[in-house]
Amino acid sequence: MNNNTALCPGSFDPPTDGHINIIQRGLKIFDKIVVAVAINRSKKTIFTPEERVELLRKLLSGEKNVEVTTFSGLLVDFCRNQKIYKVLRGLRTVTDYEYELQMSLANRIMYPDIETLFLMTEGRFSHISSSIIKEVISFGGSGKGMIHSFVEKKMREKLLRRGD
């Protein structure tokens, strides 16, 4: 793997405008970004991992230096197997920072070669979280300015099918 490749991991359920912004800005720093959708069977998600990969690939189709894939298990094991040494994480709030700091320190103990780089979210995206979007959409609100319109359409279809 290119040594200026970063991994951008997350659940991406749904992928938000904030996620896309972090990835696009990260491409100004890194030659390539591997977007890794976490498979966490214990988490209640709207989209399957395969659907999230498909959504992200569509959202990032104009970015030639982005690869979208899935991973399960420990992030450090995935990085080690892929020979990726940098992790890109977006931060919205102090709460995000505290959580991400703990994770990055634990990852560093397990895989000393890994570096985590934090990129502050632009102000216009700082209020966006997947859980807020899920709530807004489930109550019939608009995701405009938070998620792409085709992601919103897919969310509505999924929520209607589930009866949420």
The single-letter DSSP state of residue 5 is E
User: Does 61 participate in catalysis according to the annotation?
Assistant: no
H-type alpha helices, 74-139: 75-82, 94-110, 130-138
Find the catalytic residue in 32, 89, 130, 134. 130
**Is there a catalytic annotation at residue 131?**
no
Residue tagged active-site, from 19, 86, 89, 154: 19
Q: Check 52, 86, 89, 92 and give the catalytic one.
A: 92
Is 43 a catalytic site residue?
A: yes
Burial category of 50 from C-beta neighbours within 10 Å (exposed 0-12, middle 13-18, buried 19 and up) = exposed
d(CA 98, CA 117): 14
Q: Report the b/e string of 68-102 with b at 16+ CB within 10 A.
A: beebeeebbebbeebebbbbbbbbbeeebeeebee
Q: Residues 28, 43, 161, 162: which is the catalytic one?
A: 43
Q: What does residue 85 show for φ and ψ, rounded to 5 degrees? A: -115, 0
Catalytic residue numbers read 19, 43, 92, 130
